[in-house]
Amino acid sequence: MTKFIVALGQGKDFANALSRHSGARQLAYHVERFPDNEMHIRYKESVKGKELLLVQSLSLQPNDALLELVFAGRTAKELGAKKVIGIVPYLAYMRQDKRFKGGECISAKEMAWLLNNSLDALITIDPHLHRIRNLRQIFKIPAKNVSSVDAISEFVEKKFSADNTLVVGPDWESFQWARTVGRKAGMKSVIFQKQRFSSRRVKVHYKKEIDFRGKNIIIIDDIISTGHTMIEAVKEIRKKKPKAIYCVCVHGILAENALQKLKRAGAKQVISCNTVPGITNKIDMAKEVAKEIK
């Protein structure tokens, strides 16, 4: 069956890249706003009997992006689409994966409920899996997680010399990224210890003395949101006179002027995968997703 790509509002760049890598044609689709800001979507070509790949990153404006994906998925099914697959490079709401305080919404489960009832399958890239260990725990539809580790490792290996580069995980959760990328790129990796006081206040430190002087330092994490963890790591490393500090992530949310703050703290460059629209995107994950849809 021929597959057709549909670029939703926050999926246009990724959809264009996916179309280049896969050869799948984009189907005409339009979204606009009514004067009261309600969303109006329309398929401008017939979807009947077709397999659709709805491309949407749930980033930047995640509430609107999620609702558009739900509307687009349910509308396509109503209009007779044979199969509707969500290509969601960044899957929002995964960090609220338990009830931390009484009365809280476990938004990861509610987001999954919406997509379970709107799509036939889901493909995403490195969602934040912590207490929810596997997508099968919340998704009834087939849900595929595409890893960015190989793409990041390849980028790091090409850009940096293994002899003069150290890969850093700013906390224990991120160390899995740093350790794996470092191993694949033939580089040493280290981990920082993190103490979190709030979503916007953290402190990091390392237990043993590490020689950062004169080295390229790559700090790797899955998500840079407000950037506070990265900023603290950059500040600590900068004291040790490295050659340069680079911040690499899968998902560059970069909220609250995080990019500017990281550069002021001493980061030479911030590099992300193209899962979220933004100027820091240097690592193309559409090529990896294209392998999953052929």
Question: At which residue do the structure tokens 């396509």 appear?
Answer: 76
Res 209: pLDDT: 62
Res 1: pLDDT: 65
Q: Work out the angle at residue 291's Cα, subtended by the Cα atoms of residues 286 and 294, and round it to the nearest 5 degrees.
A: 115
Res 191: pLDDT: 79
Parallel/antiparallel/unpaired status of strands 29-33 and 39-43 = antiparallel
DSSP state of 162: G
**Domains of the chain by range and CATH?**
3-147+285-293 (3.40.50.2020), 149-274 (3.40.50.2020)
Reduced to 3 states (helix: H, G, I; strand: E, B; else coil), residue 189 is strand
Res 129: pLDDT: 86
CB 253 within 8 A of CB 59: yes
pTM, full prediction: 0.92
Per-residue pLDDT of the chain (294 residues; tens, 9 = 90+): 689 999 999 999 999 999 999 999 999 999 999 999 999 999 999 999 999 999 999 998 999 999 999 999 999 999 999 999 999 999 999 999 899 999 999 999 999 999 999 999 999 999 988 888 899 999 999 999 999 999 999 999 999 999 999 999 887 777 788 889 999 999 998 877 654 433 444 444 454 567 899 999 999 999 999 998 899 899 989 999 999 999 999 999 999 999 999 999 999 999 999 999 999 999 999 999 999 997
- The amino acid that residue 72 corresponds to is A
Res 195: pLDDT: 44
Positive or negative, the CA dihedral 71, 72, 77, 80 is: positive
Residues present in the chain in total: 294
Q: Residue 153: in which H helix or E strand, if any?
A: helix 149-159
